[in-house]
Copies of this chain bind each other. A is one copy, B any other.
Amino acid sequence: MNRTRLDRLLGGLDTDGYLLDASQDDANQLYLSGFTGPDPFLTLYADGEVHLLVSGLEYGRARTEAAADTVERHADYDYEYGGREDRYDMYARFVADKDVESVSVPPRSPVGTADALRERGIDVVVDGDDALGEVRAVKTDEEVDAIRAAQRANEAAMRAAESLLAAADVAGGGDAPNDGDAAAEAVEPGTLLHDGEPLTSERVAEEIEVTLLRHGCALDETIVAGGAQAADPHDRGSGPLRANEPIIVDVFPRSKATKYHADMTRTFCVGDPDPAAREWYDLTERALEAALDAVEPGATGEEVHAAACEVYEAAGEPTFRTDPETETGFIHSTGHGIGLDVHESPRLSSGAGELEPGHVVTVEPGLYDPAVGGVRLEDLVVVTEDGHENLTDYPLEFVV
The verdict on A126 contacting chain B, using a C-beta distance below 8 Å, is: yes
Quick one: which of A115, A233, A343, A350 has the most chain B CB within 10 A? A115
| Nearest CB on B from A46, distance (A) | 19
| CB proximity to B under 8 Å, residues A306-351 | 320, 324-325, 327, 331-332, 343, 349-351
Contact of A206 among B61, B209, B213 (CB under 8 A): B213
If the complex has contacts A57-B233, A57-B332, A332-B57, are A349 and B81 also in contact, measured as CB distance less than 8 A?
yes
Which of A103-111, A131-139, A142-150 is found at the contact surface with chain B?
A: A103-111
Total interface residues in chain A, CB < 8 Å = 52
- The answer, yes or no, to whether A80 is at the interface (CB within 8 Å) is yes
- Each complex incorporates copies of this chain amounting to 2
Verify if A82 is at the interface (C-beta below 8 Å from B): yes
Measured between beta carbons, the chain B residues less than 8 angstroms from A375 are: none
Q: Please, how many angstroms separate the alpha-carbon atoms of A80 and B349 in the complex?
A: 13
Other-chain contact of A209, B105, B109, B213, B349 (Cβ < 8 Å): B213
A82 to B349, CA, bound (A): 10
Q: Cβ of A218 < 8 Å from any Cβ of B?
A: yes
Whether A234 contacts B57 by the Cβ 8 Å rule is yes
Task: Give 1 or 0 for each of A104-127: 1 = CB within 8 Å of chain B CB.
Answer: 011111111111000000001010
**A128, CB-defined interface residue at 8 Å:** yes
Interface residues of A in 191-213 (CB under 8 A from B): 206, 209-210, 213
- Interface pair A80/B324, CB less than 8 Å apart: yes
Q: Can you give 9 contacting A-B residue pairs, CB < 8 Å?
A: A38-B221, A39-B343, A57-B233, A106-B112, A108-B110, A109-B112, A110-B111, A115-B126, A210-B210
Q: Interface of A with B (CB < 8 Å)?
A: 25, 37-40, 56-58, 60-61, 75, 80-82, 84, 105-115, 124, 126, 128, 206, 209-210, 213-214, 218-221, 232-235, 320, 324-325, 327, 331-332, 343, 349-351
